[in-house]
Amino acid sequence: MKTQISIIFLFIQFSFFAQDMSQSLISTNGSSNSTGLIDLKPFENNSKVEGSQYVIDKFLPATIEGVEGTHLMRYNALNDDIEYQKEENKIFVLDKTNKKYDVVFTTNKQKFGVYEYTDIKGEMVKGFLIELYAGNVSLLKREKVKYVSEKYPKSGYEDLIPAHYERADDEFYIKSGNNILAFPKNKKALIKMYPDKKSSLDDFFKKNRVSFKNEKDIISIVAFLSSLEN
């Protein structure tokens, strides 16, 4: 009889867990949750600063690797965080320190992954990058928003410019094997990164007019590099 009761109790527990998996992933006190996938903390926002911390302000439906269902999320390009809206007035921040996982926004198909990489300053960082091209050599992007301090007038003819958030240039990263480095600023730097591909890259640049500041051109360069690895 005790065995039957235990089985029934376990079945009820499993059914409840399956119905609302997202709730079991939330840790409102900042401690690790049972899965360790997306330990969450409350979101805090400074509404006094003008402008937006986001490239896309609206919460959009997205899926999380290893988690059932679709959830409302948005990417905070200032803090490099993905925010999760559980309810209208309850926003949490996904943890990017303990696990590697992917978040895919279903409307625009943007795929954010947690990566450990060397940033443009040469520092090791763990954060969210967008996958632009996947292959033997891959291309990733970090969307950026920066904080600009208030600027006081130097004369009576100038106005005070209040502190604000401003869209900054995106950062591009090239992934080869387990290494993720900042994408080179010019073809000379790229050839220095891939000296054994110099002849092929020279031919590519002779036949193709590309800019190292244009996203589509950068994707075409990485796609060509990836083809050389076959």
> What are the pLDDT digits (tens) for 15-24?
333 334 444 4
Q: How does residue 41 score in pLDDT terms, banded at 50, 70 and 90?
A: low
> pLDDT tens digits for 161-213?
888 999 999 999 999 998 999 999 999 999 999 999 999 999 999 999 999 99
Task: Enter the pTM of the model.
Answer: 0.80
**What's the rounded Cα separation, in Å, for the pair 183 and 171?**
8
For residues 133 and 60, what is the distance between their CA atoms, to the nearest angstrom? 22
Q: pLDDT tens for residues 117-151?
A: 999 999 999 999 999 999 999 999 999 999 998 88
Q: What is the rounded distance in angstroms from the CA atom of residue 40 to the CA atom of residue 71?
A: 14
The Cβ-side half-sphere exposure at 139, using a 13 Å CA radius, reads 20
Specify burial of residue 43 (Cβ count, 10 A radius: 0-12, 13-18, 19+): middle
d(CA 183, CA 129): 13
Contact status, residue 175 vs residue 187, Cβ threshold 8 Å = no
Q: How far is CA 60 from the centre of its chain?
A: 15
